Amino acid sequence: MSIPMIKLDHMSHSYTDEEGKQVYAVRDVSLSIQTGEFVAIIGTNGSGKSTLAKHFNVLLVPTEGTCEVCGMRTDDPDLTWDIRQKVGMVFQNPDNQIVAAIVEEDVAFGPENLGVPSEEIKKRVKAALERVNMTQYAHHGPHLLSGGQKQRIAIAGILAMQSQCIVLDEPTAMLDPIGRKEVMDTIHQLNAEGITVILITHFMEEAVTADRVVVINHGRLQMDGKPRDIFTHVRELKDMGLDVPVSAELALRLREKGISLDGTIITKEELGDALCQYS
């Protein structure tokens, strides 16, 4: 088997709180994410999912256990910049990640810092903007863009660094429905082109579109499987304080009312198929 994009081995992250107690934000997580996967990470506020993700591009290093990116250990300071070139991060607030006054300069910021020759930068910026479908905005001021467009610019900045993996921490939380769709379409298209995608989200309608869903609860890895394996556990997820896709919950409630529906329904199409057969 090839080297995984991300490999965590009994990784923990703890800190000492103001009363001197040791608190674990992430505890004993072992996890492998292969190149090309689309993984959604879900969990409540404070579950540790963002802390976990910050290890993937060395914003944090483990206090116990190890985190490897493409076989490189993140606790080796000599490898930090190599790792950050492999894995890029997109955060929740689109306004906090834009650094330049012109879209194409913003996208060029990453490769410039890597010392890429300027002819090569131009090519990369052009290609990156094409891939997120923002070419026509290359000369715009970023402040005039919508939230969804700003997030796509942030993604283009990562592509211009030729990263192979994008970690997105609730990238759609501040966006309107159209912006959310733009961002989701973009990351699905990039994933189809081979980019590894790790998406942290509170929207279960987004998580259900991933290849794989990882559930973090109180810092621990609680569940890990295909969306269908995860989201059919409606009660367990609700008990953890999480939502489930509406169709999965409706199917469960209808079963409880005595309508015999298949236990694997998680999308509206599947619910529609089952109900049409039923009547």
Write the DSSP symbol of residue 78.
Answer: G
Considering the complex, state which of residue 106 and residue 182 has its C-beta at the smaller distance from other proteins.
Answer: 182
Considering the complex, state which of residue 117 and residue 177 has its C-beta at the smaller distance from other proteins.
Answer: 177
* Residue 259 sits in the site that holds other proteins (CB under 8 A): yes
CA angle 28, 29, 34 (to 5 degrees): 155
Residue 123: its H or E element: helix 118-131
Write the DSSP symbol of residue 2.
Answer: P
CB of 93 to other proteins, least distance (A): 7
Identity of the amino acid at 105? E
* Residue 264 sits in the site that holds other proteins (CB under 8 A): no
With 0-12 CB in 10 A as exposed, 13-18 as middle and 19+ as buried, what is 231? Answer: buried
CA 201 to chain centroid, in Å, comes to 7
Residue selected from 16, 22, 260, 279 as contacting other proteins according to rule CB under 8 A: 279
* Residue 185 sits in the site that holds other proteins (CB under 8 A): no
Residue selected from 44, 63, 66, 133 as contacting other proteins according to rule CB under 8 A: 44
Residue selected from 2, 16, 22, 45 as contacting other proteins according to rule CB under 8 A: 45
Dihedral of the CA atoms 269, 224, 221, 69 (nearest 10)? -110
Considering the complex, state which of residue 69 and residue 271 has its C-beta at the smaller distance from other proteins.
Answer: 271
CA 124 to chain centroid, in Å, comes to 23
Instruction: Tell me how long the chain is.
Output: 279
* Residue 254 sits in the site that holds other proteins (CB under 8 A): yes
List residues near other proteins by CB under 8 A.
18, 43-46, 92-93, 146-148, 170, 173-179, 202, 205, 241-243, 245-247, 249-250, 253-254, 257, 259, 268-269, 271-272, 275-276, 278-279
